[in-house]
Amino acid sequence: MDRRGFLKAATGAAALPLGTAGLAAPALSQTAAARTLRFVPQANLANFDPIWGTQYVVRNASAMVWDLLYGVDERLEPQPQMVEKDEVSADGLTWTFRLREGLRFHDNEPVLAKDVVASIQRWMPRDPMGQMLRGIQKELVAADDRTFRWTLNKPYPKLRFALGKPGTPCCFIMPERVAKTDPFTQITEFVGSGPFRFVRNEWVPGARAAFQRFDGYQPRGDAGTWLAGAKRPMVDRVEWHVMPDAATASAALQNGEVDWWENPITDLVPTLKRNRNVSVDIADPLGNIGSFRMNHLHPPFNNVGVRRSVMMALSQEDYMRALVGDDNSLWKPLPSIFTPGTPLYTEEGGEILKGRRDLDAAKKLLAESGYKNEPVTCIVAQDQSITKTQGDVTADLLKRLGMNVDFVATDWGTTGQRRAMKNPPGQGGWSMFHTWHAGADCVNPSGQPAMRAHGDGAWFGWPTIPEVERERDRWFAATTLEEEKAAVAAMNRAAMEQVLYAPTGFFFSYQAWRRNVSGIQKGPLPFFWNVSKT
Amino acid sequence: MFAYIVRRVLATIPVMAIVALFVFSLLYIAPGDPAAVIAGDQATPDDVERIRQSLGLDRPFLVRFGEWVFRIVRGDLGVSIFTNLPVSTMIAQRVQPTLSLMVLTLILAVSIAVPMGVVAAWRQGTLVDRAVMGFAVLGFSVPVFVVGYVLAYIFALELDWLPVQGYTSLDQGFFPWLENLILPSIALGGVYIALIARITRATMLEVLQQDYIRTARAKGAGQGSILFLHALKNAAVPIVTVIGIGVALLIGGAVVTESVFAIPGLGRLTVDAILRRDYPVIQGVILLFSFVYVLVNLLIDILYTLIDPRIRY
């Protein structure tokens, strides 16, 4: 018994004659505690609709509650999950999918093909791959209760990946009545067929969410990694405890009040590593990619020469050291827009970000490009440590380069609004903002809207770079790994030469857990199945 | 007296109306977009715009304000943009932790600060007085979050006597409830204790110079009786006033304290709502806080009549 346990028992014994309820704790609650996994998420679960809101935290919680047709394994290969088998016609235009037997929703209704069709139809308008599929779709129908058929106008070799990718929004399967909700309107019923069910009446947004093991879940028979294979819930209950303060989360983990912390900040990691009851490791081998985005519509960054001069001066080491400190194992230089260590990774065209940084040469290029001292409105969200840190480094860089910096310190809510404005910087618009992308979203050109360069319809900054779009289309049509690699290399070259956006480096983040918890995987999201606690 | 209370309650209506108009207008002109936050970082500008339209955020100010006022007068605070839950439900979920924290802090602060102030006045110029005033300066100077971290480090991490964070509902037992609130209440109470102790000391010093105190001493009244029955009772009006004013301090301090100790109260709800631009929640919570503050002031005014019979309305 620890000291607090002893004190509890002592105060409890003293209170017994008073008839208080303060002492119920002992054996029963200890057993229950061993069956409850207490988790501190990266952010608040403010809403719970993975299609309406595409934040990572919503995706992470949703993966417990809603299942996927396919799931990627640690090699990023899509494996059947709810699907038992699929068949594709010889011309690649007709896909027929058969669902596994025994799939049930949390209300005990069977999962039917019509539920899948409605879910796919709700997902498509919100997802870049889904939008492509909708553009080439001829027909999507339920053939019988367990079979659905998808007919396309042209082949789409990446279909399995689209349905099983981990990037938001994932194609989660919901009951038809729920999936018929407009994709831009929030659902009000949280019924899935995943290994855990959402305990709605215990949800206190901003503070707590609870998930109960779903006894009707039928895990696959094969071994599980990431979103593929068997998803076996090993605890009765998972509780999410939202802690806005990192020091509090650190202390709670050390004190055994929580079991798993998704994203300890780097400053606190040495303290956690010294605690013999706590394990610390890299959270996601696919890491994160820092970046800043320049506005291609207005001066000065509508000028590729100005964009290139900034890239030429940019030192990724400065950004990464500011973000992760002195631990060199936590970051890598990244002359690419793709995730290092993945099959399609390329540094083609990335020379501008390599080698010693030459500020004088960058200044010369800036002068030659015709920069006329226009203000650079740099909007920096101060309430996100990653964007704030990058913003500070960028402001210093631009000043040293001799640019006229208008540093706008604001919060993420305002950044989100302002970056959508296409006005010139002096009229409410902007010149640049900072962000970061999950490495899992940058393993190929499919899921990252920031990689699009089709002008007005592109992501914020609205770049028009036809070569990027052409090579992206080539990748989608590729049927061999070699073809895919060639397309991605050419796409990266175009992105670097035209400065689609500026990568500031590749970095990892940590996760930490109590040593009595086992089965935690490194991956692009926390996987709660196959995790047990003693 | 009854007529006075009725008048004061009625007077809260225009006050609340002004607060409502102020809050709504301020949020309308403040930058930020809940649709962008909902859509997430990966969303396209079109996605953000579609969500904005579906939430009705693209409609004119007067339309939105009119609808909101119409709902408010019917007692409907609206629905959170993010959670889709009624604002009243979200407030109800969070009231108990905040109320518990504030009440416990109030009890702790008053029961410590008033005797401290009385003793400091009684022993003016001595080491005790200086110690009390030194504590008061510290209480004012050290931020709540620093006190919180230090307390958590000592009593939770090092000594393992109390939990670092969280809240246990009162219906799960008094001691579990108390266990979670001891450290937050001490952290939050510091500045409040300092404020009340200083006012108590200053007021008591003034009262202790009065003729009736000298008379009480001449009659042979004991020191305790002089301090707590004769002097403190007459010094109570300014002390009660400060306690009332201090409720605003508690509301502000609760925001920080709830974050440091991960207490799911109204303070954290407010901060989260502001960061996300969850307008209905911000409006609902600020209206509630304003109402509570107005109500506390009313209670203080009524208390005056009980403390000092010379005061009549």
Lay out the sheet containing A196-198: strands in order across. A196-198, A208-213, A237-241, A36-40, A260-261, A510-514, A278-282
Average pLDDT over residues A259-278: 95
CB atoms within 10 A of CB B3: 8
pLDDT band at A29, cuts 50/70/90? low
User: CB B32 to CB A414 under 8 A?
Assistant: yes
CA angle (B261, B263, B264) in 5-degree steps: 155
Position A67 scores a pLDDT of 98
Contacts of A248 in chain B (CB under 8 A): 152, 164-165, 259-262
Q: What are A421-477's pLDDT values in tens digits?
A: 999 998 999 999 999 999 999 999 987 889 999 999 899 999 999 999 999 999 999
Nearest CA in chain A to B257: A245
A400: CB partners within 8 A, 6+ apart: A313, A359
pLDDT band at B38, cuts 50/70/90? confident
Joined tokens for residue A314: 């940019």
Residues 335-364 of A with CB under 8 A from B: none
> Are the folds of A3-12+29-49+184-283+511-533 and A288-507 the same?
no
SS3 A467: helix
Judged by average pLDDT, the poorest of A11-20, A184-193, A342-351, A393-402 is A11-20
Average pLDDT over residues B281-303: 90
Position A284 scores a pLDDT of 95
Q: Is B56 on the interface with A (CB under 8 A)?
A: no
Q: How far is B268 from chain A (nearest CA, A)?
A: 8
Distances (CA, A) of B195 to A319, B108, B135, B199: 45, 13, 11, 6
Joined tokens for residue B211: 């003729």
Where are the domains positioned within chain B?
2-73, 90-312
Q: Is the pLDDT of residue B208 over 80?
A: yes
- Tokens 């409830």: give the residue: B177
User: CB B165 to CB A24 under 8 A?
Assistant: no
Position B58 scores a pLDDT of 86
Position A529 scores a pLDDT of 96
User: CB A205 to CB B80 under 8 A?
Assistant: yes
Q: What are A299-343's pLDDT values in tens digits?
A: 999 999 999 999 999 999 999 999 999 889 999 999 999 999 999
Contacts of A52 in chain B (CB under 8 A): 38, 51
Please, how many CA atoms are within 13 Å of residue B304, restricted to the half-sphere of its CB? 16
Joined tokens for residue A350: 């990335």
Superfamily of domain A288-507: Dipeptide-binding Protein; Domain 3 (3.10.105.10)
Average pLDDT over residues B181-191: 95
Position A77 scores a pLDDT of 93
Q: Name the strand (E) or helix (H) holding A337.
A: none
B90: CB partners within 8 A, 6+ apart: A205, B80, B83, B269, B281, B284
pLDDT band at A5, cuts 50/70/90? low
Contacts of B40 in chain A (CB under 8 A): 53-56, 58, 168
Tell which residue, B175, B2, B169, has the closest CA to residue B93: B169
Position A26 scores a pLDDT of 40
Nearest CA in chain B to A10: B175
Residue B158, burial from CB neighbour count under 10 angstroms (0-12, 13-18, 19+): exposed
Domain at A3-12+29-49+184-283+511-533: CATH architecture: 3-Layer(aba) Sandwich (3.40)
Contacts of B85 in chain A (CB under 8 A): 205
Average pLDDT over residues A203-207: 93
Q: Is the pLDDT of residue B1 over 90?
A: no
Q: Which CATH class is domain B90-312?
A: mainly alpha
Q: What are phi and psi of B312, to 5 degrees?
A: -135, 145
Position A9 scores a pLDDT of 47
Does the structure's ipTM exceed the value 0.90? Answer: no
Average pLDDT over residues B104-108: 95
Q: Is the pLDDT of residue B44 over 90?
A: no
Q: Is the pLDDT of residue B302 over 70?
A: yes
Average pLDDT over residues A191-197: 98
Whether A177 contacts A184, CB under 8 Å: no
A107-111, A125-129, B138-142: range with highest mean pLDDT? A107-111
Q: Bridge-partner residues for A97, per DSSP? A: A86, A148
Q: What are B62-101's pLDDT values in tens digits?
A: 999 899 889 988 989 999 999 999 999 999 999 999 999 9
pLDDT band at A18, cuts 50/70/90? very low
Residues 130-149 of B with CB under 8 A from A: 149
Whether B133 contacts B120, CB under 8 Å: yes
Q: How far is A400 from chain B (nearest CA, A)?
A: 29
Joined tokens for residue B194: 């300092």
Average pLDDT over residues B214-224: 91
Q: Is the pLDDT of residue A508 over 80?
A: yes
Q: Is the pLDDT of residue A24 over 50?
A: no
- Tokens 């990568």: give the residue: A503
Residue A281, burial from CB neighbour count under 10 angstroms (0-12, 13-18, 19+): exposed
Which one is predicted more confidently, A517 or B75? A517
pLDDT band at B297, cuts 50/70/90? confident
Tell which residue, A439, A225, A461, A433, has the closest CA to residue A338: A439
User: CB B37 to CB A3 under 8 A?
Assistant: no
Position A4 scores a pLDDT of 55
Joined tokens for residue B215: 């008379």
Q: Is B83 on the interface with A (CB under 8 A)?
A: yes
Q: Is the pLDDT of residue A163 over 90?
A: yes
Top residue of B164, B167, B258, B261 to mutate, by most chain A CBs within 10 Å, is B164
Dist. CA A32–CA A236, nearest whole Å: 9
Q: What are phi and psi of A199, to 5 degrees?
A: -95, 90
Q: What percent of chain A has pLDDT over 70?
A: 94
Q: Is the pLDDT of residue B181 over 80?
A: yes
pLDDT band at A291, cuts 50/70/90? very high
Nearest CA in chain B to A462: B45
Q: Is the pLDDT of residue A125 over 70?
A: yes
Where are the domains positioned within chain A?
3-12+29-49+184-283+511-533, 70-179, 288-507
Q: What is the mean pLDDT of chain A?
A: 92
Q: What are A81-92's pLDDT values in tens digits?
A: 999 999 999 999
Position B56 scores a pLDDT of 86
Stated length of chain B: 313
User: CB B164 to CB A413 under 8 A?
Assistant: no
Q: What percent of chain A has pLDDT over 90?
A: 86
Position A394 scores a pLDDT of 98
Sign of CA dihedral A174, A180, A182, A187: negative
Q: Pairing relation of β-strands A196-198 and A208-213?
A: antiparallel
Q: Pairing relation of β-strands A36-40 and A78-80?
A: unpaired
* Nearest-10 Cα torsion for B66, B72, B78, B81: 50
Position A20 scores a pLDDT of 37
Dist. CA B196–CA B116, nearest whole Å: 9
Inter-axis angle of helices B2-29 and B61-73, nearest 10: 150
Nearest by CB to B152, from A12, A251, A457: name it. Answer: A251
Position A457 scores a pLDDT of 87
Residue A473, burial from CB neighbour count under 10 angstroms (0-12, 13-18, 19+): middle
User: CB B51 to CB A47 under 8 A?
Assistant: no
SS3 A408: strand
Position A313 scores a pLDDT of 97
Q: Is the pLDDT of residue B285 over 90?
A: yes
Position A30 scores a pLDDT of 56
CA angle (B253, B259, B265) in 5-degree steps: 75
Position A223 scores a pLDDT of 86
Distances (CA, A) of A7 to A15, A380, A514, B163: 12, 48, 23, 12
Q: Which CATH class is domain A70-179?
A: alpha beta
Position A413 scores a pLDDT of 81
Dist. CA B254–CA B148, nearest whole Å: 12
Q: Is the pLDDT of residue B131 over 60?
A: yes
Q: How far is A449 from chain B (nearest CA, A)?
A: 6
pLDDT band at B121, cuts 50/70/90? very high
Q: What is the mean pLDDT of chain B?
A: 90
Average pLDDT over residues A509-515: 97
